[in-house]
Structure 1
Amino acid sequence: MFFSYAYSDTMDNALLFFQNGDNLEFYYNDVKESAQLNLQVDDTLGLWHHHCFVFARSTYRVYIDGELLAEGRTQTQQTGIPLNGTLYVGQDQDRYDGGLDPSQSLSAHVAQVNIWDHALSPATIRSAALCEDNPRGNVLSFDLQEAEEANVTVEEAHVTTFCKSNPEVVVVPQLSSLQEAMAFCGLMNASLYIPEDEETNGRLLNQSLQFLDICGGRSYRLLFLDATDAAKENHWVRGSSGRPLAFHNWAPGEPNGGKKGNCVVMRKSDGRWGDTLCTESHCFACLRTHRDFLILRGMCEPREDMLRFYMMGNVNKRPFFKGFYKFMIHYSGNSSWLLRDTNKDVVLAAFTPSEDVEYPLGRRQWQVLSKFCKYSVGSFISLGLSSCTTHHFMCSDGSCVARAVRCNLQDDCLDGSDEEHCSIVEFGEKYFNYRPPPSGTFGKPLGVEPLVDLVRFSKIDDINLAFNVEIEVALAWRDRNLRLNNVRSEEGKNRLSRKQVKEVWTPDVEFLNIYDGQQKNLKLSVVVRENRPADPPLFNDVRMGEGAAGGRGRG
């Protein structure tokens, strides 16, 4: 809830601007003008957006970050708004100066609230959005006028702050080789960090000094940095991108490792750099932007953005994971990781790794400590934390592979988890293979579509007027009691195993005029195919599986 203006109990939404996930909504004179629109604004935590709503006579224009997002005619006939009302920033009012609901409050930063009595030009709006100018409203400007404050903190910042990119640097106090450090940052949807100027170099040094007991030891080396000259001696580039370094902070006499010292470390005494062997073990730092988040799967939240997490600072000398809304994952300091609901201040579940240096990435077994979703206290559940989107499959270790390679009989995950749980059919508790599935129409039998191919006559007996013939019988039917998983587009790859063939219902086939009843079944196989597009992976699904309820069988 960004902005709420009311001037009577019946006009409590005279002006109302709010966002639900990525959907931007707005009211004008108690009419929801955005009802027929699809206004999408990135709801990424930590990113500033410049909003400007222009109402002129019976028209509206909506600008986001200086760009026109929507325009049109207002639905209401009333165009003026009296100035004898109450304005709330960050809180909806359900009646004039009241009806405040905590669930309709804003948890965010708000700045530069301005109101004008005239329409701003597109050039002025764009200039303000780019922080090139700071125009102040002639009706209201929070830069110039005081406002009543409740349950908020106030700080001052230069206008250019809102247009700066402020990536997060997280020091990881864990001794690792360079390869291990880069892999760790990658799993965190981040990259190994190296400072770009004196200011960021000093900031990284100061941030790291709190971990001297872990990272310093007896060595003068403190942190690995993202640089290497492995490709060309003394030509130092970023290890993650290959771009040449724009900033160097070598200590006197450095680099001096020759062809063996292909990696860079920061010294703990003064923050200067030196080269070293990449196989040594040092602490390191990861860099992430505000778009580099992780997703926790296995929960029961209504929206995917409620399951997004950022890797941030340190709690008990480990990076922690801050949710966009109410969740937090942090190290307990006593060999376990805790999932906390910060709104209720309760610990929901705990993960105890087999090794102390292990992080809660990938699919892990968590013990439930407080009842949530459908989970009972004391039970063990599977939760998955990774950067994988619904276009990926999440490996057990938290790495991501393309969904298309799932169950392709090749190990694409390093741990081979993409080839686990590859069963095509999923049976419900009330599935019985002796009972035909329902037809879909009450009281009518299940339809079975036969296709008979005469393969060959293997023997003709003129005396007994008999012959041996090989026939291929293909029967197709729809089984609405099955759920299909991991169905591939190539039908031949959706063949059930012998065990599954015995578990599913299949029609019986009999030929009435067989000589001496000598019918010999040469081969029986069951192949499934979808009768509709697969359901997309659910963002709460820890296994990130695609499936379809009710498939077609062909035997």
Structure 2
Amino acid sequence: VYIRYDFDKDDNIQLLQNFTICYWFKRTSFTTYETHFSYSLRGKNSRKFTNALNFGSFGGAKDWTVTRMDVEPYGRFQLPLTLHTWNHYCHVFTKYKYTLYFDGSLFYNSDGITVQEPLKTNGTLIIGQEQDSSDGSFESDEILKGYISQFNIWNETVDVLTYWKEANDISNFANGNVFSTESNAVMTLNNVAQSNTSFEDFSEMTVKVSYFMEEITFNEASNNCKIIGLNLFFPEKEDILYLHEKMYVTDRSGYNTYVWIDGTDINKKRMWKIDNTNKTGNVSIIGNGAREKNCATINLSENKIEHINCEWHQSYICENYHEATINVRGLCFNNFNDMLFVPISNHSEPILYGLYGY
């Protein structure tokens, strides 16, 4: 994504003290630098700012900053990392406060900030790239990788909760009165393509499968899943040993989460262990080759959890509707972001998606 719009071409120059920026974004790959938008000021009668307004993550996937004029950081926080899922962002700016709404819910508040100078609409807006200077000077490896839709700016503090309801109803959707990708003629660069998509796609969730690639106990797995906001479940019937039986999304906009652990009780090797009380389910599966350790793997041809004579232990498999990253170790990478992957499963086999799309 790399979109440019020059406000100095407009006759109606505005001074923005209180304003709102909202948009949809779907990330397709992790990048070391990820800038959603950048706005630079220039002009004889105003101070120059390379980035008078900027929102992005620089050198670290989890730490996000918002800068405005001479206040840095205007806000600093951590955001959920997702791939191939539409997320909605709303940034509300006032003279004394910055507020971020993520997917329609209040996510971050920063109070006690004073910005003396309003934002003047005579600069350049870049979507999907940080501006290293007011005249351009972009780095190709810092471009945002993904899709952005319905990028809007209002010259007021929008009631985001009301707007969120409207954003999910195309019949009530209103474009920004300062700028909108739906109504303003923008310049697209770096092989950026424009296309139309169904409005229902914004609420579609893709089922995910994530793995703990080592042998861990039930309690350890439970704690790990709690850290990323998930819950633990076991298959209790033979017919749901096949992952795709549970991976069909019935509530496209839902946030239901399923996590499976394919561990068995050491004393009952043919039974699924339900929880840490040693309660077992009624599923009969192939034994583990009389080994002392229990292990299991996924049959990629059938997408089925089953026991094999393992030399390693892929003991815990998590299935969820929300995407969560895993940190792949044991390989050589240039930086932390290169190690981030999101496990995605279709109805044939699980796939790992990461920085390079693999």
For Structure 1 versus Structure 2, the TM-score category normalised by the shorter chain is 0.5 to 0.7
Question: How far is the alpha carbon of 1:298 from its aligned partner?
Answer: 1.0
Deviation per CA, 1:179-204: give whole Å up to 9, x if none.
8994xx7xxxxx34368599x9xxxx
Structure-2 residue corresponding to 1:6: 40
Q: Work out the number of aligned pairs and report it.
A: 230
Q: Which residue of 2 aligns with 1:193?
A: 245
- Residue 22 to residue 128, structure 1, CA distance change in 2 (3 Å): farther
- Give 1:307's aligned amino acid: L
Partner of 1:95: 133
Letter in 1 for 2:352: F
Partner SS, residue 130 of structure 2: strand
Distance in 2 of aligned mates of 1:293 and 1:117: 36
Q: Tell me how far 1:18 sits from its aligned partner.
A: 0.9
Q: Give the aligned partner of residue 353 of structure 2.
A: 322
Match of 1:520 in 2: none
How big is each residue's C-alpha offset from its partner over 1:255-305, in whole Å with a ceiling of 9 and x where there is no partner? xxxxxxx9xxxxxxxxxxxxxxxxxx9953477644255542113443267
Partner deviation per Cα, 1:44-67 (whole Å, 9 max, x = no partner): 212322211122334332222222
Alignment map for 1:268-417 (pairs within 5 Å): 283-285=301-303, 289-291=321-323, 294-301=326-333, 302-303=335-336, 306-311=339-344, 320-323=351-354, 325-326=355-356, 328=358
Which of 105, 111, 114 in structure 2 is aligned with 1:72? 111
- The answer to whether the 8 A contact 1:114-1:140 is kept is yes
Q: Deviations over 1:306-325 (max 9, x none)?
A: 332434569xx9765321x1
Q: How does 1:417-496 map to 2 (within 5 A)?
A: none
Which whole-Å CA distance do the structure 2 matches of 1:131 and 1:305 have between them?
37
Distance, in Å, in 2 between the alignment partners of 1:90 and 1:305 is 19
Shift in alpha-carbon separation, 1:294–1:16, aligned structure 2, 3 A: closer
Name stretches of at least 5 consecutive residues in structure 2 with no aligned partner.
1-34, 210-236, 253-271, 275-283, 285-298, 305-318
Q: Check whether the contact 1:66–1:128 (CA below 8 A) recurs between aligned residues.
A: no
Q: Which residue of the partner structure matches residue 159 of structure 1?
A: 199
Q: Which amino acid aligns with 2:65?
A: E
Over residues 13-42 of structure 1, what are the superposed CA-to-partner deviations in whole Å (9 max), with x where a residue is unaligned?
1111113412221111243234xx542210
Whether the 8 Å CA contact 2:344–2:350 is kept in 1: the answer is: yes
1:28 corresponds to 2:59? no
How has the CA–CA distance of structure 1 residues 304 and 196 changed in structure 2, closer, same or farther, with 3 Å as cutoff? Answer: closer
Answer whether contact 2:323 2:342 (CA < 8 A) is retained. no
Deviation per residue, 1:129-171 (Å, 9 max, x gap): 65575231011111222311112222212333222323269xx
Q: Under a length normalisation based on structure 2, what TM-score does the superposition of the two structures give?
A: 0.53
Per-residue CA deviations over 1:393-449 (Å, capped at 9, x if unaligned) read xxxxxxxxxxxxxxxxxxxxxxxxxxxxxxxxxxxxxxxxxxxxxxxxxxxxxxxxx
Q: Kindly indicate whether the alpha-carbon contact (under 8 Å) linking 2:207 and 2:322 is maintained by their aligned counterparts in 1.
A: yes
Alpha carbons 1:112, 1:143 under 8 Å: kept: yes
In structure 2, relative to structure 1, the CA distance for the partners of 1:136 and 1:296 (3 Å cut) is: same
2:54 paired residue number: 16
Q: Does the aligned pair in 2 maintain the 1:193–1:285 contact within 8 Å? A: no
Which amino acid is 1:326 matched to? Answer: Y
Q: Within 5 A, what are the aligned runs for 1:534-545?
A: none
Aligned residue identity for 2:302: F
Return the offset for 1:84: 1.4
Checking the alignment, whether the CA contact within 8 Å between 2:105 and 2:161 is kept in structure 1 is no
1:277 aligns with none
Rounded Cα–Cα distance in structure 2 between residues aligned with 1:145 and 1:18: 23
Counterpart amino acid of residue 54 in structure 2: L
* CA spacing shift, 1:117–1:327, aligned 2, 3 Å: closer
Distance in 2 between residues matched to 1:134 and 1:124, nearest whole Å: 11
Distance 1:82 1:293, change over 3 A: closer
Partners of 1:90 and 1:158 in 2: CA distance: 22
- Distance, in Å, in 2 between the alignment partners of 1:124 and 1:72 is 22
- What residue number does 1:50 align with? 88
Aligned to 2:150: 112
Deviation of 1:70 after TM superposition, in Å, equals 0.9
**Residue matched to 2:312:** none
Aligned residues: CA RMSD: 4.0
Query: 1: CA distance between counterparts of 2:104 and 2:331?
Result: 37
8 Å contact 1:7–1:82 — kept in the other structure? yes
Taking a change above 3 Å as real, the CA distance of residues 117 and 294 of structure 1, as seen in their structure-2 partners, is: closer
- The CA deviation at 1:2 is 0.2
Normalised to the residue count of structure 1, the TM-score between the two structures is 0.36
Query: Is the Cα contact below 8 Å between 2:63 and 2:79 reproduced in 1?
Result: yes
112-121 or 64-73: bigger deviation: 64-73
What residue identity is the alignment partner of 2:149?
A
* Counterpart amino acid of residue 155 in structure 1: S
- Report the AA paired with residue 71 of structure 1: S
